[in-house]
């Protein structure tokens, strides 16, 4: 999978010296293990370099002022030239340190032409009322769409309004472009791809329509952002209970977080309870929700009985 980075998530008000944030290092490490590729659009690289150059100039000026102060006080010191100790970071090298594959992506001519048209006509995902043409953001949007269409999916990490607003939902969903506002959200999303996360996802799909009918402001399409603390109770005929803390995407791009408890009888979800429902860290209208979905589930074949029989044989029963 390709993971495209916008410049706003890399923004720092200080000069980066050795590494990006701890979350980014963890993200790159996971991507390296899973074989994902980090894509740095040229636009992102140029904006990162510009911001870091400003920080470099500010730090250099502070150092020169410190030297001047020491001289004015007749304090002896060994002068070190600013370029020897203050250097602009190389973004690509910072990413490569984790061992993950990283590419700088130049916009194609088609990317430029389509972004230019959308900027001029204020077409989606551009906001019609915006005065700015948002050209740079639209170029990154076109690159992300292109990669998603080529590979069947891609991730765009950005907080920019053009990239995350609901106006882009249909186009993003049509090519498998998944959008997150931070590297933390991507790390949570990767938990969905663990065996436990995949199982939760299989359980959520059949009841998604029930969640929508209950009034939860979710996307029409199943949009699971993160899964945490998954727990399962195994019955003789399969899973009898499932619990987790889950994050879901709302229809307007916000984050819904809730605890989910399911009761399952003979591969049918008979009871569903949601508690501590929060949207962007604010309590939802209802503190909890109880539903009776009665929806059949189709899970990947489980070898529960075979494992029990093997265990009995091992202990001599």
Instruction: Report pLDDT digits (tens) over 99-139.
Output: 999 999 999 999 999 999 988 888 888 777 665 557 899 99
Whether residue 25 is found in the same domain as residue 128: yes
Instruction: Report pLDDT digits (tens) over 283-309.
Output: 998 888 999 999 998 876 555 455 556
Instruction: Report pLDDT digits (tens) over 60-96.
Output: 999 999 999 999 999 999 999 999 999 999 999 999 9
Whether residue 60 is found in the same domain as residue 41: yes
Whether residue 172 is found in the same domain as residue 199: no
Residue % of the chain over a pLDDT of 90: 58
193 or 177: which carries more pLDDT confidence?
177
With cut-offs at 50, 70 and 90, classify the pLDDT of residue 235.
confident
Q: Which of 14-18, 130-134, 221-225, 270-274 has the lowest mean pLDDT?
A: 130-134
Q: Is the confidence at residue 194, as pLDDT, over 90?
A: no
Q: Please give the mean pLDDT across all residues of the chain.
A: 88
Domain carrying residue 262? 194-304
Whether residue 77 is found in the same domain as residue 209: no
Average pLDDT over residues 207-227: 90
pLDDT of residue 57: 95
Asked which of 128, 163, 184 is the last residue of a domain, the reply is: 184
Average pLDDT over residues 273-288: 90
Closest CA to 153 of 3, 272, 317, 25: 3
Whether residue 158 is found in the same domain as residue 278: no
What's the number of domains the chain is made of? 2
Query: Could you give the C-alpha distances from 4 to 55, 104, 193, in angstroms and in order?
Result: 24, 10, 19
Whether residue 138 is found in the same domain as residue 286: no
Whether residue 67 is found in the same domain as residue 113: yes
Contact in structure between 39 and 117 (CB atoms under 8 Å):
no
């Amino acid at each position: 999978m390709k993971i495209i980075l916008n410049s706003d998530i890399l923004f720092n008000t200080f000069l980066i010296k050795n590494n990006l944030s701890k979350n980014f290092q963890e993200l790159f490490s996971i991507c390296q293990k899973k074989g994902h590729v980090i894509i740095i659009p040229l636009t992102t690289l140029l904006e990162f370099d510009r911001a870091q150059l400003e920080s470099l100039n500010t730090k250099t000026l502070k150092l020169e002022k410190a030297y001047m102060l020491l001289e004015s006080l007749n304090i002896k010191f060994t002068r070190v030239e600013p370029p020897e100790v203050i250097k602009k970071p190389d973004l690509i090298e910072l990413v490569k340190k984790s061992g993950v594959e990283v590419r700088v992506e130049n916009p194609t001519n088609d990317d430029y032409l389509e972004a230019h048209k959308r900027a001029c006509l204020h077409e989606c995902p551009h906001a019609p009322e915006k005065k700015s043409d948002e050209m740079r953001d639209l170029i990154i949007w076109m690159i992300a769409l292109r990669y998603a269409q080529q590979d069947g999916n891609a991730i765009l990490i950005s907080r920019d309004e053009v990239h995350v607003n609901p106006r882009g939902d249909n186009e993003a969903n049509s090519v498998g472009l998944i959008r997150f506002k931070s590297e933390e959200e991507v790390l949570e999303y990767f938990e969905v791809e663990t065996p436990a996360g995949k199982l939760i996802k299989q359980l959520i799909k059949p009841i998604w329509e029930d969640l929508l009918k209950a009034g939860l402001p979710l996307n029409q399409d199943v949009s699971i952002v993160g899964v945490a603390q998954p727990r399962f109770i195994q019955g003789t005929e399969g899973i009898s209970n499932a619990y987790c803390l889950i994050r879901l995407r709302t229809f307007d791009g916000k984050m819904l977080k809730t605890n989910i408890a399911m009761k399952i009888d003979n591969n049918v979800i008979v009871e569903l309870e949601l508690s501590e429902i929060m949207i962007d860290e604010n309590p939802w209208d209802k503190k909890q929700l109880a539903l009776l979905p009665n929806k059949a589930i189709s899970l990947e074949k489980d070898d529960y009985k075979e494992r029990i029989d093997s265990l009995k044989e091992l202990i001599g029963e």
